[in-house]
Chains A and B, each alone.
Chain A
Amino acid sequence: MQSSSKLRGLLVITLLPALLLYSFFVIIPIFWSSYYGFFEWSGLGDATFIGFQNYLEVVQSPIFWRSFKNNLIIVGASVLGQVPIALGLALLLRKSNMFQRFVRSAVFLPMVISTVVVGLIWGYIFDPELGVINAVLRSVGLESWTRAWLADPEVNMYAVAVPIIWNYIGPYLIIFIAAIQNIPGEIEEAALLDGATGWRKLVYIILPNMWGTIKVVIILCISGSLKAFDQVFVMTGGGPAQSTEILATYMYNNTFLVYRYGFGSAISTMIIILSLILILISQVLMRRKD
């Protein structure tokens, strides 16, 4: 069909830019930072090679595993929060009238706001004395439920997860709406003729047709929430007493507050490894259902 040299030329033109960017901005930094993980380095002056010590310290650090657990809480909250909410809203917002478009936009809106502002606003909402949540609880007589939401280690990780969920429902909602509109009209009509309406239609027709999309969204959701950093960083900085530390803030704090570049790099490498493992597991689990 086409000569091989011409194909090679085409490949170079189409793929080379992407591959170059990929290696420079993704691959090389990964290897570079895992290499720094073998050094004791304060960022200034000379680095000393110390073998696997940093990596060992990471694996043995209880804070690292606590951070990992906190990351899993965010992943869990995102998957269990964002996906059902987005799916539910998508089922309700299938029409495209003015009103529904307004609600859709409202749900999408949080995405356009910068994280610094997200952090500050939710700081307001969670404030123990002035905050909306405690004010509401007090007004309905649930005084005993009021808390310092971001300071109390028993609840603060869940409190931090709420703005993250809120922040990113929008894009998933849009993906789901698109998927529903993609369900061929004949199927729905056939279902109607069979008398399938309401819940039955939902369970037997709509959801099975969307399973593929739901899977993709779950994967996106997992990888997205593994990357969570900004929100936690601005709301708590990982504190108090490292109770809301997640992997990325743990890495950041060790690198930029404690100036342990080597140790921070070792954490980075571990984060990458853990992320890949998690994604792999979720891929395998979902593939089996096919």
Chain B
Amino acid sequence: MKKLLAMMFVLLLALAACGGDGDNEEAASGDSEKVKLSIWHNFAGDDLRARSVRDMIAQFQEDNPEIEVDEQAIPVDGYRQRISTVAAADELPDIFLTYAGSFTDEFHKSDLIQPITPLFDDNPEWKDSFLKGALDPYNYDGELYSAPVAMSATSFMYYNKQLFEENNVEVPKTWDEFISVIDTFNSKGITPLAMGNKAPWVAQSTTFGAIADRVTGTEWFMNAVNEDGASFTDPVFIDALNHFKELVEHDAYPEGANSMDNTQAEQYFAQGKAAMMINGSWTISSLSASVSEDVLKNIGITTVPAIEDGKGAGNTITGGPGGGYLLSSKTEGAAKDAALDLIYTLSNEEAQNTIAESNSMVMYDLELDQETVNPLFYEAFNLVKSAEFAPVYDLHLTSAGGEAVNNGLQEIMLGGDVEKVAQDIEKAQAANK
């Protein structure tokens, strides 16, 4: 017994000594001149874009041996939560990836970030090459806080060319055509629309935002967000919800869409089980990484059908500038210079090009080489450059308001009452402004 205890004790010591947590950096930092820089982002996956971004950071580290970059790649699902938690504990990294909209607003309101305007002043050509409106979400009182490294384009309509041909159906351009196409596919036993709304932002971000913008127009939405002369209980918004309800009532979605994962829905569509799918630009990269060339060639891409009697434009795509890097307000001196350098390296023309070549959308004016990118992506990028953007709902609503829309759409899919959903949304948005 004693022997066993002694052994356990030794083992314990060995394990405890064995690096503890590798936290000995501070003790070992004899060369204190090294500038330390921490950066957090969510490019943690194995997809092309994530790998390119990590490579860029590794390259930066190699080119700047006097800077010590501490990089954390955090999985997307937990990213916002992790950042908010460290922000609450006042332990934000020097540089971190943000999302455009209310998430960034919070940091600005709380004085946790500082402008990177000098970068834009020093590189005017770079500044002018961003697409129209790209910098707006990061502009607070004339100071710029970030440069978007992504475009969020959340509502493309993907369709299966073969299924449309076989059933002699035209790709719908108007709402009435859309409904009749849905009925036709249903009568042939083909699911009209794939959707994986288990994480409930999907219906809101991909489908409802586009429909609502067509019905209410963008101006009304921005007023409603600010509770400025418009409210989510207005008849025009009820009308928008009713359009979504119409899809549900025409059995556009498969049974159990609310328990299906987005990835699962993408595969469901790719396998030809559904004729159409409204989804974001991310679908292109995940499909091109997972399905064969033949399958990709059979997929067409267009905008969500227009709604003729609506107040909004008919060909908008919900989206706009995506995430960019923010600079913590606590970063000063040499670290700040290094941080600005790194932010520029990750957002300059070369970086934007690399990201685009990994089949991911950017807010930067590039001429894509048709040979190097995937054809579906090429088509989509040009579609976006010609179309107008409409706001993505949850990027503008408060987080409570966004949750209310997400849950409300699920309720409608379960047969819930439209008026009650509208009231819940209004209540949540008004209460937590």
Interface residues of A (CB under 8 A from B): 42-46, 123, 126-129, 148-153, 156, 236-237, 239-243, 253, 256-261
Contacts and interface: CB of A to CB of B under 8 A. Distances in A.
Q: Which 3 A-B pairs have the closest CB atoms?
A: A148-B256, A45-B110, A240-B258
A123 B261 contact: yes
A253 B407 CA distance: 12
B219 to A, nearest CB: 27
A261 B432 contact: no
Interface string B81-106: 10011011000000000000000001
Interface in B97-155: 106-107, 109-112
A45 B90 CA distance: 9
Contacts, number: 95
A125 B408 CA distance: 27
Interface string B54-97: 00000000000000000000000000110011011000000000
B259 A151 contact: yes
Interface string B170-198: 00000000000000000000000000011
B84 A44 contact: yes
Contacts of A128: 254-256, 259
A43 B197 CA distance: 27
A240 B80 CA distance: 22
A152 B415 CA distance: 11
B1 to A, nearest CB: 19
A242 B432 contact: no
A46 B259 CA distance: 37
23 contacts: A44-B84, A44-B87, A44-B106, A46-B110, A123-B261, A127-B259, A128-B256, A128-B259, A129-B255, A148-B256, A148-B258, A149-B259, A151-B256, A151-B258, A236-B259, A237-B198, A237-B200, A239-B410, A241-B410, A242-B407, A256-B84, A258-B399, A259-B84
A151 B414 CA distance: 9
Interface of B: 80-81, 84-85, 87-88, 106-107, 109-112, 197-200, 254-259, 261, 399-400, 403, 407-408, 410-411, 413-414, 416, 432
Nearest to A256: B81
A46 B414 CA distance: 39
Contacts of A148: 255-256, 258-259
Contacts of A261: 88
Given A236-B198, A241-B407, A241-B414, A151 B88 contact: no
Contacts of B399: 257-259
Nearest to B80: A256
A239 B408 CA distance: 11
A165 to B, nearest CB: 19
A240 B110 contact: no
A236 B261 CA distance: 10
Contacts of A42: 106
A129 B198 contact: no
Nearest to B191: A129
A173 to B, nearest CB: 30
Contacts of B106: 42, 44-45, 259
A208 to B, nearest CB: 38
Contacts of A256: 80-81, 84
